[in-house]
């Protein structure tokens, strides 16, 4: 397999997308300020979330564009970078809304927006329910990010040839619909009664992974880059064949980090997924292995404590230890390796320019080997 290259050029994409997002945040402040001087906290919250992030989605789109003939130093390059900013704004919107849905306390090492605005409500002595106020503001923040995402995308593709613009818009619209439905499936999975069929639990979990995260993290950004370069249907299909298993591996890594990650690195407390009752592939594998071993104590523990918001750090640690004792984390690691290998092998086989292939391999490694 090819050596993982120096990250210099990929980091350049990140720097340029960061600059576009900073410009967007400045324009948003001007637009909101023209409506009311009281909108400053909204702008601060959007700018704060946009100021950090790996920019993997933007980078996958950019290097897929380069792989399919995109030429640097052209107006088309400006367009694909701006689409990268649109992807990051959509991601920010999803995070604002997801944190409300999951009632999360922290994001990237800071209080989540709904917690921040609930605290501000309390400090200011405002009337009404502070938690409802915080959640309502966070929903509006997500809406602002969605509006910005669509505006950036529309501006980016306006100068493209009509066929490329239309194909790109179709991918972008599909992505946004699928993530929304995937979020619903995630909610539905958590509300389902416990199922004795572990295979069915895992099948449902993987459906959530693919629709809520895998496709929009890798597959759709790669398909977008190819569509913007005017790639044909077979080339876009090849991007999808690479992006789906790689995106699934990306999310499975996230699921492991949600239980076993270092909070100082992930920016979220360990065990949040356990408190939220996420019916992940990790949980499905733990149930299957516990049942095969006749370990009724672990099965009872998972069923009684998973999804308990009152879990202390010690409780979450015991639950994580019980899952680990089944061997489920090792099985998920093997599944991540198998999915990543499928994607890496497909990248290696593509007739792409060497630099683009190398950068996409680098991004693939970063997606599945990360610790945050």
SS3 labels along 4-17: CCCCHHHHHHHHHH
- Cα torsion 349, 352, 358, 362 to 10°: value is -70
Can you tell me which residue has the tokens 């967007």?
A: 24
Tokens of 260: 């076993």
Query: What are 106-126's pLDDT values in tens digits?
Result: 888 889 999 999 999 999 999
* pLDDT for 257: 93
271 pLDDT tier (thresholds 50, 70, 90): confident
* pLDDT for 357: 97
30 pLDDT tier (thresholds 50, 70, 90): very high
Tokens of 306: 């998973």
Stretch among 31-45, 131-145, 257-271, 314-328 having the lowest mean pLDDT: 257-271
Signed CA dihedral, 173, 185, 218, 24: sign only: positive
* pLDDT for 267: 78
* pLDDT for 270: 76
- Residues of 211-242 as b/e, b for ≥16 C-beta within 10 angstroms? bbbbbbbbbbbbbbbbbbbbbeeebbebbbeb
9 pLDDT tier (thresholds 50, 70, 90): low
10 pLDDT tier (thresholds 50, 70, 90): low
Is residue 161 within 8 A of residue 230, CB to CB? The reply is: yes
4 pLDDT tier (thresholds 50, 70, 90): very low
* Average pLDDT of the segment spanning 4-8: 40
* pLDDT for 56: 96
Question: Could you give all domains of the chain from N- to C-terminal order, each with its CATH number?
Answer: 8-369 (1.10.600.10)
Determine the Cα–Cα distance for residues 33 and 5; give it in Å rounded to an integer. 44
Q: 24: closest CA among 92, 77, 117? A: 92
* pLDDT for 214: 92
Residue 133: φ, ψ to 5°:
-60, -50
């Amino acid at each position: 397999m090819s050596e993982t290259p120096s990250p210099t050029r990929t980091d350049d994409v990140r720097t340029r997308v960061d600059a576009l997002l900073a410009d967007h945040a400045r324009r948003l402040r001007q637009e909101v300020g023209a409506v009311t001087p009281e909108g400053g906290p909204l702008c601060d919250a959007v700018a704060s979330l946009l100021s950090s992030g790996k920019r993997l989605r933007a980078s996958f789109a950019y290097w897929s564009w380069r792989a399919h003939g995109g030429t640097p130093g052209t107006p088309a390059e400006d367009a694909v970078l701006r689409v990268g900013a649109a992807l990051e704004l959509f991601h920010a919107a999803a995070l604002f809304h997801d944190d409300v849905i999951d009632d999360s306390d922290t994001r990237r090492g800071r209080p989540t927006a709904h917690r921040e605005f609930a605290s501000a409500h309390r400090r200011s002595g405002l009337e009404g329910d502070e938690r409802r106020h915080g959640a309502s503001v966070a929903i509006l923040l997500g809406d602002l990010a969605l509006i910005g995402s669509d505006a950036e995308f529309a501006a980016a593709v306006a100068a493209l040839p009509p066929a490329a613009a239309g194909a790109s818009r179709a991918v972008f619209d599909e992505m946004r619909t699928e993530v929304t439905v995937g979020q619903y499936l995630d909610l539905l999975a958590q509300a389902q009664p416990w199922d004795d069929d572990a295979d069915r639990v895992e099948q449902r979990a993987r459906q959530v992974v693919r629709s809520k995260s895998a496709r929009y993290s890798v597959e759709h950004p790669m398909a977008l880059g190819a569509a913007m370069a005017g790639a044909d249907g077979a080339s876009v299909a090849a991007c999808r064949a690479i992006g789906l298993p790689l995106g699934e591996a990306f999310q499975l890594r996230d699921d492991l980090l949600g239980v076993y990650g270092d909070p100082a690195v992930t920016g979220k407390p360990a065990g949040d997924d356990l408190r939220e009752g996420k019916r992940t592939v990790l949980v499905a594998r733990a149930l299957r292995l516990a049942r095969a071993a006749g370990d009724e104590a672990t099965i009872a523990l998972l069923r009684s404590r998973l999804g308990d918001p009152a879990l202390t750090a010690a409780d979450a640690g015991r639950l994580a230890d019980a899952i680990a004792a089944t061997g489920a984390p090792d099985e998920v690691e093997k599944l991540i390796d198998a999915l990543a290998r499928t994607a890496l092998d497909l990248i290696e086989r593509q007739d792409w320019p060497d630099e683009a292939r190398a950068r996409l391999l680098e991004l693939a490694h970063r997606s599945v080997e990360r610790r945050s």
